[in-house]
Structure 1
Amino acid sequence: MEELAGTQVAFPVRNRIFARLINGVTTNFVWNLYLDHLLLIITQIGTVGTVISARQDATFDGRTTFSISVVLGKREDPTLELAARQLVQQLGELGHSRSITLCLGLRDLSPSSVRELVGAVREDHAWC
């Protein structure tokens, strides 16, 4: 570690990589946590797939809203946006409050696969 003006400076990006079987398909999870942002790549196809920007906000009356927008990739797939929303909601329930970039390269977006993806994030969440 480098020392700067009396404080230790660590590499600012923490990451974690793991794989899981989701409905029988090997699925890779890549977490990159920056100071103010989370990049979460979930892929079954070896590429980042569709890139989605997601944010969780609180309303003036204390309710939670979610902003999900496709940055790059399949824009006309409501199932993909629903999966992203469920993942962001799960991360919020785990205490994660940073902006999130989700990269979803998925072959199977069946309801059971989405449940398993959300379960994997719940069990193996990193640094929320």
Structure 2
Amino acid sequence: MDSQASSRFPVSQKKFSLDIKGNKTDIVLCGYDDTFMVMVTQIGSMGTILQARMEQNVSMDPTFSVSVIFGKRDEPLLIACGRQLIEHISSSGSSRPLMLSLGLKDHSVESLKEITSAVIENRIW
């Protein structure tokens, strides 16, 4: 895994590349004051963009919403990836929302599990 981290003002970031099922996968994590941004690409462009957030409610258990801003709206696995990441961010104590860009050649369960694991392992939250 090729990794590069920076915590320069105003945005902390981490960039790395890995091979997922034969596809070079570039990942960039950015921590803004009000949002986390995760960009994952195997195609050299942004791809589908999702927004994930923890909803404020009166019950003890948090609820999460994930919506597609641009791109493929018929890919439930992309939404599941966003949900896993926002749940992890929330369980780490942050209430910041997540902007997630997934430009993928391979949308398989295995690929998305590897991507989610790599992002969590290299998290900046």
Q: 1 CA distance for matches of 2:112 and 2:93?
A: 20
**Which structure has the greater CA radius of gyration?**
1
- TM-score under structure 1 normalisation? 0.82
Q: 2 CA distance for matches of 1:89 and 1:103?
A: 17
Gaps of 5+ in 2: 1-7
Partner of 2:37: 39
Is the 1:23–1:116 Cα contact (8 Å) retained in structure 2? no
Give runs of aligned pairs for residues 47-86 of structure 1, distance below 5 A: 47-86=45-84
Q: 2 CA distance for matches of 1:96 and 1:25?
A: 31
Is the 1:90–1:118 Cα contact (8 Å) retained in structure 2? no
Q: 2 CA distance for matches of 1:79 and 1:21?
A: 20
Q: 1:24 to 1:79 in 2, by over 3 A?
A: same
Deviation of 1:58 after TM superposition, in Å, equals 4.7
Deviation of 1:72 after TM superposition, in Å, equals 0.8
The Cα offsets for residues 44-67 of structure 1, whole Å up to 9 and x where unpaired, read as 111010111110235322112111
The Cα offsets for residues 86-128 of structure 1, whole Å up to 9 and x where unpaired, read as 22223333333211110111111211112111211121112x1
* Number of aligned positions between the proteins: 118
Please, which moves more after superposition, 58-67 or 36-45? 58-67
Q: 2 CA distance for matches of 1:85 and 1:40?
A: 13
Superposed CA RMSD? 1.7
Of 94, 97, 115, the match for 1:96? 94
The Cα offsets for residues 5-53 of structure 1, whole Å up to 9 and x where unpaired, read as xxxxx73212221112222321111111111111110111110101111
User: What SS does the aligned partner of 1:107 have?
Assistant: coil
Q: 1 CA distance for matches of 2:77 and 2:115?
A: 13
